[in-house]
Amino acid sequence: MTRSVVVTGGFGVLGQAVAKAFAATGDKVARIDFTARAQEDISGSFDIGGVDLTDAQSTSDAIARVLAAHGGVDVLVNVAGGFAWEPVESGSISTFSKMHAMNLLTNATITQISLPELKRSSAGRIINIGAEGGVTAGMGMAAYSASKSGVHRLTEALAAELAGTNVTVNAVLPSIIDTPTNRADMPDADTSSWVQPHAIAKVIQLLASPDASAISGALIPVTRGG
């Protein structure tokens, strides 16, 4: 069965890996991103750039375009987000608002707007990107960790809300992801245990599959290199 898959943050490293994985199995993939254009095309992907996922109208317009192109939404993967390292004492309170908007509000907005379509699906799937750092926070991680903890609680609450439907809601919690940005920010780090984007994509595909229909409300650590 060919499904309609929406990947937010789909122009970034992880979003691209997720979109490629679903496209490779024949699903219809739509990538939605704040960035205007993707740096790399994916064959068959329907790309929508310049979308502010914290804005309900902008997000609704993007989903309307997906529906016109693909006829529905079966799988929503919420990759969109950001990171900031900043101690509380010397940092800015505005960083908390920024992380809340980028990591939690983007997720909640498109999820709410997509729910009617997901509930129409015979097997709707919502997969969120949480974080290992949203479980235990280290120094400088307060704003980021608080926002990712919010994603975890959203996942659990929505799974309970949708318990009587065909929609499951789960989250994957990666440790450090092996991306060019992370390597540049941590040039002296041991990258051998960093998680590969394609490994995270495989876990997401599993959660989106019929085999995972009994799993909902789970927060799944993804912490091995892959």
Is the distance from CB of 53 to CB of 59 less than 8 angstroms? yes
- Look at the chain and count its residues: 226
Backbone dihedral region for residue 93 (phi beyond 0: left; psi -120 to 50: alpha; all else: beta): alpha
Residue 9's contacts (CB-CB under 8 Å, 6 or more residues apart) are: 15, 32, 33, 34, 78, 79, 80, 81
Q: At what angle do helices 142-161 and 106-120 cross, to 10 degrees?
A: 20
Which run of H or E residues covers position 6? strand 4-8
Catalytic residue (choose from 34, 96, 144, 194)? 144
**Known catalytic membership, residue 108:** no
Q: Are strands 4-8 and 75-78 parallel, antiparallel or unpaired?
A: parallel
Alpha carbon 44 to its chain's center: 20
Any idea which residues carry the catalytic annotation?
144
